[in-house]
Homo-oligomer: A and B are copies of this chain.
Amino acid sequence: MSEQLYTTKEAMLYSQRTAQLSKALWKAVEKDWQLWIKPYDLNINEHHILWISFHLQGASISDVAKFGVMHVSTAFNFSKKLEERGLLKFSKRDDDKRNTYVELTEAGSQLIMRMNEHYHDTPHCILDGSLPLRELYGRFPEFLDVMAVVRNIYGDDFIKIFERSFKNFKDNFDQVHSSARQ
């Protein structure tokens, strides 16, 4: 019985520590994010949908919902608003009639790139709070245990989309900056 009790205690302590930490981290991220996107008249969901569409280069609404960790109806409704603003367009694919796909319009892509250029115009407490770790270890933290937990909860697909979007982010960044230098 004490084995069982110990486990219950350990589990509760762990999950409540995690709850507290993840709330604090997310609230800091959310604040940075809101400050960054404020001049562009977007909310976090809308920006997240644009960001995902940009980096996945043709995502279904269900991909957007899954990767954006939002309800499908939220993803759909905000995508509609972005379509009305001329930033996103909907399409069907011949090989997949069931899903609705979204992709950025030219105006949507321009907006995402303009926002990225102005990323450092607003403060990012996540960056400031991570600099001491970067100085210590020579790189920003990777949160490998968070990654592992997220992978177990959301599945390999989530992590695949995650890696794909950040690979695209890197490539796109290099492309934009190499053409800027020419």
Contact = CB atoms under 8 A, between A and B. Distances in A.
B170 A149 contact: no
B162 A20 contact: yes
A18 B158 contact: no
Contacts of A22: 22, 25-26, 29, 146
Contact of A141 (B5, B120, B148): B148
Counted per complex, copies of this chain come to 2
A25 B152 contact: no
A69 interface: yes
Contacts of A145: 133, 141-143
Interface string A1-45: 000010011111111111111111111110011000000000000
B130 A149 contact: yes
A51 B19 CA distance: 12
A169 B12 CA distance: 9
A145 B177 CA distance: 31
A143 B143 contact: yes
7 contacts: A11-B120, A16-B169, A19-B29, A19-B32, A22-B29, A28-B150, A129-B153
Interface of A: 5, 8-29, 32-33, 51, 69, 116, 119-120, 124-133, 140-143, 145-150, 152-154, 158, 162, 165-166, 169-170, 173-174, 177
Q: Which 4 A-B pairs have the closest CB atoms?
A: A141-B145, A129-B152, A26-B26, A129-B153
